Amino acid sequence: MEAHPLRFFRNLSRSREIFTVLLNHGFGDLLERLKLRRYVQWGRRVILRKRQPELPEHYTTAQRLRMTLEDLGPTFIKFGQVLSTRPDIVPADVIAELEHLQEGVPPFPSDQAVHRLEVEFQKPLSELFAEFEREPLAAGSLGQVHRARHHDGTLLAVKIRRPNVIRDVERDLALMLDLAILMERHIPESDVFDPVGLVNHFTRTIRREMNFCREARTLQEFAKLFRDDATLTVPFVYDELTCESVLTMQFVGGCRADDDAGIARLGVAPSQLASNGARIFMKMAFELGIFHGDPHPGNLRIQADGSIGLIDYGMVGYLDRAKRDQLVDLFVAIVHQNVDDAVRIVEEMGNPSRPIDDLLLHADVQDFVETYYGVELARLNVGNMLSDFVSILSQHGLRCPADLMLLIRAIVTLEGVGRRIDPQFNLAGELAPYVERLVKRRYDPKRMAARAMADFRELLSAVHDLPIHLGNTLEKLSQDELKVQLEHRSLDRLITEFDRSSNRITVGLVTSSLIVAFALIIRSGSSASTWITVPVFALSGMLGIWLIYGILRSGRL
């Protein structure tokens, strides 16, 4: 994958802003290593027209990173929030700092919101809603929410996408991808963080969030899955008032999950409330395989009847059966103190970014298992256990699937919310029945027979295709058409260095030849050619000085 330098020039204003912010927060060394110094120096002289401000020494790298993302705007703030869900590749101090990211985006004018509604649905506002509050309830980086009333009297929440947000986000995504490619090319140690993979994952995430039709379908899927569960309230979506840039749904009132006084006024038992929330989430993740990715207190609204209203379905995770089985196997391996199985599961769940030290991994997993062995599942601190598990992945360069990391982060968040509501709450007590049920279901004779039959059919298919593939290979071999593809790694960097060295040798030889030749001509005393030879001699000398300066500046004499 190659970076596109022209994108930096095509989006010169935004590129300049990004470089300036990086400089202002002390990341000039990063730009130096990305080979962007020549543009930075030009920008510092011509654009900034002032000295780079001095940063207080007490700011850590993590704090400077957070401030950088906040200054770069909504797209980069969203990127930081996604990074905070990846403790397997991002250091713990950076994760803690990124969790304090604040969007701080002012609402856009209500006239633009009304105009968007009327353009999308080709009707005046009075025909769309009986009432529409022009003052937004909340504003975010991608859109803002207005309260309205349906003609049948139902209170509505209308989410409207920001004008030009797609253009701005796509521009930033392109620049972020180019920066990530440059990082992988020029900063080898960044491979541990997988910059390009992170940007690609973020691109998929934010594009899903910007498509409100997708969020509407997610809402409808959750409503269908929980239609018989009275403890969860999912907003009803009005399809006729929903499109890609507008989402109209039932307004969910109630108090926030961290509003202790509000919960007390409702008369809901805190223990029951925390238990219901945990049970709902466990059902999402371990039974249905789809879960809300951000269950923080602001997205949980407690209703008068004690049910929980869940809002903001922009961040949703999916967990297939194989990943759920792996998590169950990990719990079982810990309970039975089976270190070998636990090591195997860790290696299966993680994608190594560097060679693994098997002995050290085995020792760390053994220590992990012994820490939690003997603890009753109902008394297990799930948050601490998952945090320790992620630490093992991080220490050994094992990258976990993004959705699995999102689940782990959501579980840790949920456990914190539950303990805030009820200090005696223990998530493991709610998790235990689901793990036991999944274990029984996994080893159910009917399911095992079905899996054996599926494996047998796959084996038969492979045996059936083997003679065909073997015949094709022998035929290509006999006709000298068999090709072997070799993949080289980091060879392009070596080729670049060879090109650079050969260019310097060539320039040096040409320069020295010119200097010697014109020095001899000048010494010959031919006055007719002096007006040509002297300037060319001087130019050759300047070229030689420029070559020496370039070599010294690169630090590779």
3-state secondary structure 203-272: HHHHHHHHCHHHHHHHHHHHHHHCCCCCCEECCCECHHHCECCEEEEECCCCEECCCHHHHHHHCCCHHH
Across the range 501-525, mean pLDDT stands at: 71
pLDDT at 130 > cutoff 90? yes
Which of 152, 160, 154 is closest to 134 using CA atoms? 160
pLDDT at 48 > cutoff 50? no
Across the range 489-512, mean pLDDT stands at: 70
Strands 143-149 and 138-139: antiparallel
* Beta strands in 60-206, from DSSP E residues, in sequence order: 131-132, 138-139, 143-149, 155-161
In a 13 Å sphere around the CA of 346, the CA atoms on its Cβ side amount to 31
What pLDDT, on the 0 to 100 scale, is given for residue 557?
A: 47
In a 13 Å sphere around the CA of 175, the CA atoms on its Cβ side amount to 22
Amino acid (1-letter code) at residue 474? L
What pLDDT, on the 0 to 100 scale, is given for residue 72?
A: 87
Residue pLDDT, tens place only, 8-18 = 556 667 777 88
Long-range contacts formed by 123-131: CB under 8 A, 24+ apart: 128/241, 129/156, 129/158
Give Cα separations from 448 to 232, 296, 345 (angstroms). Answer: 33, 38, 20
pLDDT at 528 > cutoff 60? no
What pLDDT, on the 0 to 100 scale, is given for residue 160?
A: 95
Across the range 417-427, mean pLDDT stands at: 86
Across the range 229-248, mean pLDDT stands at: 94
What distance in Å separates the CA atoms of residue 258 and residue 414, rounded to the nearest whole number?
12
Global pTM reads: 0.73
**How many CB atoms neighbour CB 32 within 10 A?**
12
pLDDT at 50 > cutoff 50? no
What distance in Å separates the CA atoms of residue 328 and residue 167, rounded to the nearest whole number?
43
Across the range 185-192, mean pLDDT stands at: 78
Lowest mean pLDDT among 125-129, 233-237, 252-256, 460-464: 460-464
CB 157 within 8 A of CB 147: yes
**How many CB atoms neighbour CB 451 within 10 A?**
11
What distance in Å separates the CA atoms of residue 233 and residue 277, rounded to the nearest whole number?
11
What distance in Å separates the CA atoms of residue 313 and residue 299, rounded to the nearest whole number?
9
Residue pLDDT, tens place only, 315-347 = 888 888 888 888 878 877 877 788 888 888 888
Which of 148, 138, 129 is closest to 104 using CA atoms? 138
Residues 6+ positions from 18 with CB-CB distance below 8 Å:
72, 175, 179
pLDDT at 462 > cutoff 50? yes
Hey, what are 130's tokens? 């009986």
Across the range 213-223, mean pLDDT stands at: 93
Angle at 199 between CA 42 and CA 81, to 5 degrees: 100
What pLDDT, on the 0 to 100 scale, is given for residue 36?
A: 73
Helix (H, G, I), strand (E, B) or coil at 306: coil
Q: What pairs with residue 301 in β-bridges?
A: 256, 309
